[in-house]
Structure 1
Amino acid sequence: MATPTPTPTPTPTPTTLTGEPGRLTTLLRAALPAVPGVNRLPGVRKGPASAFAGLAYARDAVVVERDRVDAYAAVCGFPRRDVVPVSFPHLLAFPLHMAIMGDPAFPYPAIGMVHVENTITAHRAIGVGETLDVTTSVAILRPHARGVLLDFTTTVSAGDETAWESTSTYLRRGRSVDGDPAPGLEVPDPPAGGVEWRLPGDLGRTYAAVSGDANPIHLYPLTARALGFPRQIAHGMWTLARSVAAIENRLPDAVTVEVAFKKPVLLPGTVRYAARQDDPGWAFALTNPKDGSPHLLGRTSAA
């Protein structure tokens, strides 16, 4: 008997956010389900993971503002240009990530979600001043050896044209779901050597100011220790952006960037960056200079 073809999971109808989402309000809504007692209140209480069928949120007519692009470029090491850095549109999608995590139908609080992989595909350069529509959706849970994976898929479009796409994969530790875990991103023979970067203790706060991602693990030693870290850690998306900035002038406008986030970068701290041009594109790595253990492994290819 032939094996039946699986039915594709339908994409949920997106909920549209109007205006500029409030950063603090959105973060609090996403974090409250982690607070004992509060997490039982109506509108905060989470539904069961077994019932989760996906969610989608959208922002329409988002203007790419010069001041924000320049601030982001300065923090992440990109030059000032009339087109945005390849990783910048993630900032336009981040409020949608938080809105999804804050939705009562989403089965987990934002606190405890671990960003493990990110794939970006830029189909063309996006100009400063463009008006864009942004949609983020998350599908059903995927199995992982340590819990479940959730893929937040973002599409940035100008009219009917898709200009940029990304998938941010988060791990939620705990009980898994049925199925065989898919292999994660692998970068064989990552580049060695390279240069050292000294990162200041306030880097998390600086990046939070331009990105809107004010997760307490990135801000101060006290807030990071409350969540299990010895001191504050750098944002994974900053490590991606800074790594890409080092080779951006050698990348095409239409490009795919894939990264796996490994060990967190403690702040203040020193990391080593290395990149190597391979046949399909570039391979790069951010490592601990003391023992060579990876913080981030990545690669690029033409889109």
Structure 2
Amino acid sequence: MTTSRELTRTPNLATLYPKALLTGFTRRGGELPDAEYLRTGLTVDRAHLAAYDRLCGFGLRDELPVTYPHVLAFPLQVKLMTDPGFPFALPGLVHVANRITQRRALSADEPLTLRVRALDLRPHERGSQFDVRSEVLVDGQAVWTDVSTYLRRDGSSGGGGGGTREGEPPAAPEPTALWRMPADLGRRYAAISGDRNPIHLYPLAARLFGFRRAIAHGMWSKARCVAAFEGRLPERLTVEARFKLPVLLPATAAFTSARESDGWRFALRDSRTGRPHLDGTISLA
């Protein structure tokens, strides 16, 4: 039976990250906790929304970008994954995929309820995989759902990385756009999203986790891709992304998109080598 824990305020990430570092050494795997966190009566900070829109390439509107509620739910996700009963240390988890389903557009003036839980722990050839499911409810109805899939590598998987390993990439199509990503992009997105994982902040911190330079957040990359379709998206939609090789900052990435029968397919690749950073689809929900 799921245990619901209601929060009266958003968890403080400034205290949760040190906790994650200090307690990570004691976690040895096991079952996911049968618990969820609820945060009711949440209202959107319009200045925060505007900063997110600008950084990710969205226009300034009252309607929330489909990826924006992810940053609202993120503190609850971290709270859940730093609880004593959570089986895996937060440092070292790799965000490999994200799927968002929106059943109707959300407005910045609506009071929101957030609900977060972890589920579906399963074996993976490189370790263990599980999902963190986040929902936005309005008047008791779930109108937005986010499923983030995380990989916990075992000791034999080797090397650090930001997604799946790839061989030589196939010939890439002509890009729709080239995006220049500055060296401070990770720090700028961290200031908005609260995701201050050291791999995104500074080259020296990233090297401690096996990266030559700081890497871009996967959810920034996904949001930037979705922003490229602004004005063409329906209210009801599902946006899926699979995170591949990390974007080492600074970088220039090539964005490609193609129309399909029920939506679009899109990708983000290294502009020089064609190696994949992200593949995704947008479809009707």
- Greater Rg over alpha carbons, structure: 1
* Gap change, CA 1:54 and 1:146, over 3 Å in 2: farther
Once residues 228 and 278 of structure 1 are traced to their aligned partners in structure 2, the CA distance between those partners, rounded to angstroms, is 37
Q: 1:260 aligns with which of 218, 242, 263?
A: 242
Q: How many correspondences in the alignment?
A: 272
Q: Which of 193, 213, 232 is the equivalent residue of 2:174?
A: 193
Letter in 1 for 2:281: R
Check the 8 A contact 2:10/2:76 in 1, yes or no: no
Deviations 1:50-91 (A, max 9, x none): 344433222111111211111100010000011011100001
- TM-score, normalising length from structure 2? 0.91
2:15 matched to 1:25?
Answer: yes
Is there any run of 5+ residues in structure 2 with no aligned partner, and where?
Answer: 157-163, 165-169
TM-score by length of 1: 0.85
Report the secondary structure of 2:49's partner residue.
helix
Residues 289, 108 of structure 1: alpha-carbon distance in 2 compared, 3 angstrom cutoff: same
| SS of match in other structure, 1:209 | helix
* Aligned residue in 1 for 2:196: 214
Q: Secondary structure at the match of 1:136?
A: strand
Name the SS for the 1:284 alignment partner: strand
Kindly indicate whether the alpha-carbon contact (under 8 Å) linking 1:191 and 1:284 is maintained by their aligned counterparts in 2. no
SS of residue matched to 1:274 = strand
| Aligned amino acid, residue 17 of structure 1 | L
Code of the aligned partner of 1:13: T
Cα shift readout 1:17-73 (whole Å, capped 9, x = no counterpart): 221321211222223223xxxx4xxxxx43x52344433222111111211111100
**Which residue pairs with 2:167 in the alignment?**
none
Query: Structure 1 residues 279 and 54 mapped into 2: Cα distance closer, same or farther (>3 Å)?
Result: same
- SS for the counterpart of 1:139 is strand
**Contact 2:32-2:118 at 8 Å conserved across structures:** no
**Which amino acid in 1 is paired with 2:8?**
T
- 1:175 CA drift (Å): 7.0
**Other-structure match for 2:254:** 272
Aligned-residue identity in percent: 45
- Counterpart of 2:277 in structure 1: which amino acid? H
Letter in 1 for 2:261: D
Partner of 1:235: 217
Tell me the SS of whatever aligns to 1:248: coil
Residue 64 of structure 1 aligns to a residue whose secondary structure is coil
Task: Write the deviation string for residues 82-105 of structure 1: whole angstroms up to 9, x where unpaired.
Answer: 101110000111011101110111
Alignment partners' CA distance in 1, 2:75 and 2:65: 19
| Code of the aligned partner of 1:214 | R
Question: Do the aligned partners of 1:53 and 1:140 also contact (CA within 8 Å) in 2?
Answer: no
CA distance in 1, matches of 2:172, 2:147: 24
Q: Contact 1:55/1:139 (CA < 8 Å) preserved in 2?
A: no
Say which of 89, 93, 97 aligns to 1:109: 89
Structure-1 residue corresponding to 2:132: 152
Instruction: Name the CA distance, whole Å, in 2 between partners of 1:140 and 1:214.
Output: 26
Q: 1:27 to 1:218 in 2, by over 3 A?
A: same
RMSD between aligned alpha carbons? 1.9
Partner of 2:52, secondary structure, is: helix
Q: Distance in 2 between matches of 1:190 and 1:17?
A: 49
Whole-Å Cα distance in 2 between the matches of residues 267 and 212 of structure 1? Answer: 19
CA contact 2:172–2:274 (8 Å) conserved in 1:
no
Task: Name the residue aligned to 2:264.
Answer: 282
